[in-house]
Amino acid sequence: MRVGVPRETAAGEKRVALVPEVVRKLTGQEHEVVVEAGAGQAALIPDGLFEEAGARIAADAGDVWSADVVVKVAPPSGEEIGRLSSDSVLIGFLQPLTAPDTARALADAGATAFALEAVPRISRAQSMDALSSQSNVAGYRAALLGAQLLGRFYPMLMTAAGTIRPAKVLVLGAGVAGLQAIATAKRLGAAVTGYDVRSAVAEQVQSLGATFLELEAGRGAEGEGGYARELTDEEKAAQQRELTDAITGFDVVITTALVPGRPAPKLVTADAVERMKPGAVVVDLAGEAGGNCELSEPGETVVRHDVTIAAPLNVPSTMAEHASQLYARNILALLELVTGEDNALSLDFDDEIVAGACVTRGGEIVHEGAKKAAGVTA
């Protein structure tokens, strides 16, 4: 099987889909790997390291896009999709629930495309769970960003000049990113509280040494597949009221709340920001889905009512080396699943991971959520 690794072209994308360590494994299994010249440059991985691992460096992007399987990080542009043929297989983040144009264009190209976001979250697929690997990076980074933007210490300090009380950090949304933000803020010595609408999470928050914030509104809002469901309008309003009171006592609020395919819930209202202490910080990790804070400006850091509100986009890309390393291991696990005994590509659509992750095939959008987003009727 020939695996192609293009250079990422999306603005600000520094990650690369494979790293030399994973290339070495693939070439060791007699696969051919073609890496576009400069593909690892933004992650500070020179072409020479890919070559040492057994890859061929291609100056021509066409050489990479004609591989049996093209592996990418960011969704492909229209131009990139134009390079795919009807026997191409593409693996990457494709935003199946929110980028219907990408799904339509991939179907029109006749490509078989797999979205990492759509890999079912079952135990057997954990090694392929790129949402989790990248959320871990984002959660870690968010806790550090909060510490950096706060003009105070995170830990308690007992010094000759007296005692400094620890910073109070609240993490809203305790999925993979939130739990990592909690763990990281704890390690830095902050007094951490976590909150989520999924009741099952309370124990996980507490096991990290943090306090769980209990609210009445939206409690137990478990949805399908272990995700939260979107709250009703009444629940949202009640949750905002309760949270507005709770938020005011914290120095740093890190928000990570998401419902797949839906706009991010607005958990931190403008009123809550106004009532926060001067110098407090909000780090909003939900910027790509519109933000969890009403005053967030996705991609920007702004100061409102003396509160710094950062809503960075594509946070995993800011740690491109480790983010790429984890992502590449997720891709390797998926490639191993679709490799047949003869070392050729073998797609078994009876396998729930292969079927679940497939977004387009045979000229059609086949993923239910992507179909709905693209307005395809049965």
What positions carry a catalytic annotation?
A: 121, 126, 129, 132, 227
Task: Give the residue, chosen from 34, 118, 147, 176, that forms a contact with ligand NAD under the rule CB under 6 A.
Answer: 176
Within a 13 Å sphere around the CA of 353, how many CA atoms are in the beta-carbon half?
18
Is residue 135 a contact point for ligand NAD (CB under 6 A)? yes
**DSSP code string of 45-90:** --HHHHHHTTPEEESSHHHHHTSSEEE-SSPPPHHHHTT--TT-EE
| Only segment of 206-214, 256-264, 314-322, 358-366 that touches ligand NAD (CB under 6 A) | 256-264
Rounded CA-CA distance 254/143 in Å is 7
Rounded CA-CA distance 39/19 in Å is 10
Neighbours of 207 (CB within 10 A): 10
Cβ closest to ligand NAD, residue 67 vs residue 174:
174
Angle at 158 between CA 157 and CA 161, to 5 degrees: 105
Beta carbon of residue 267, minimum distance to ligand NAD (angstroms, whole number): 6
**DSSP-assigned beta bridge partners for residue 364:** 361
Q: How far is CA 300 from CA 26, 141, 277, 314, in A?
A: 39, 16, 21, 12
Sort 227 into a burial class: Cβ within 10 Å, 0-12 / 13-18 / 19+.
middle
Beta carbon of residue 195, minimum distance to ligand NAD (angstroms, whole number): 6
Task: Give the residue, chosen from 94, 254, 259, 268, that forms a contact with ligand NAD under the rule CB under 6 A.
Answer: 259
Beta carbon of residue 231, minimum distance to ligand NAD (angstroms, whole number): 5
Cβ closest to ligand NAD, residue 240 vs residue 308:
240
Cβ closest to ligand NAD, residue 58 vs residue 337:
337
Is residue 133 a contact point for ligand NAD (CB under 6 A)? no
Task: Give the residue, chosen from 129, 317, 333, 334, that forms a contact with ligand NAD under the rule CB under 6 A.
Answer: 129
Cβ closest to ligand NAD, residue 90 vs residue 172:
172
Taking a C-beta distance cutoff of 8 angstroms, is the pair 200, 223 a contact? Answer: no
Site string for ligand NAD, 24-53 (x = CB under 6 A): ------------------------------
Beta carbon of residue 183, minimum distance to ligand NAD (angstroms, whole number): 13
Is residue 324 a contact point for ligand NAD (CB under 6 A)? no
Is residue 184 a contact point for ligand NAD (CB under 6 A)? no
- Please give the structure tokens belonging to residue 349: 């659509």
Beta carbon of residue 223, minimum distance to ligand NAD (angstroms, whole number): 8
Beta carbon of residue 139, minimum distance to ligand NAD (angstroms, whole number): 9
Is residue 131 a contact point for ligand NAD (CB under 6 A)? yes
Rounded CA-CA distance 58/34 in Å is 6
Is residue 174 a contact point for ligand NAD (CB under 6 A)? yes
Task: Give the residue, chosen from 2, 227, 270, 313, that forms a contact with ligand NAD under the rule CB under 6 A.
Answer: 227
Task: Give the residue, chosen from 151, 209, 220, 226, that forms a contact with ligand NAD under the rule CB under 6 A.
Answer: 226
Q: Could you tell me how many residues of this chain bind ligand NAD (CB under 6 A)?
A: 29
The three-state secondary structure class of 116 is helix
**The sheet that has 364-365: what strands, in order across it?**
56-58, 32-36, 2-5, 69-71, 89-92, 112-115, 358-361, 364-365
Beta carbon of residue 180, minimum distance to ligand NAD (angstroms, whole number): 9
What sign has the CA pseudo-torsion 29, 326, 60, 45? negative
**DSSP-assigned beta bridge partners for residue 58:** 36
Which residues are CB-contacts of 377 (< 8 A; sequence separation ≥ 6)?
none
Task: Give the residue, chosen from 258, 310, 323, 373, that forms a contact with ligand NAD under the rule CB under 6 A.
Answer: 258
Cβ closest to ligand NAD, residue 76 vs residue 260:
260
Beta carbon of residue 264, minimum distance to ligand NAD (angstroms, whole number): 8
| Only segment of 50-58, 104-112, 150-158, 174-182 that touches ligand NAD (CB under 6 A) | 174-182
Rounded CA-CA distance 22/14 in Å is 18
Sort 339 into a burial class: Cβ within 10 Å, 0-12 / 13-18 / 19+.
middle
Residues that bind ligand NAD (CB under 6 A): 121, 125-126, 129, 131-132, 135, 172-178, 196-198, 218, 226-228, 231, 256-260, 265, 267
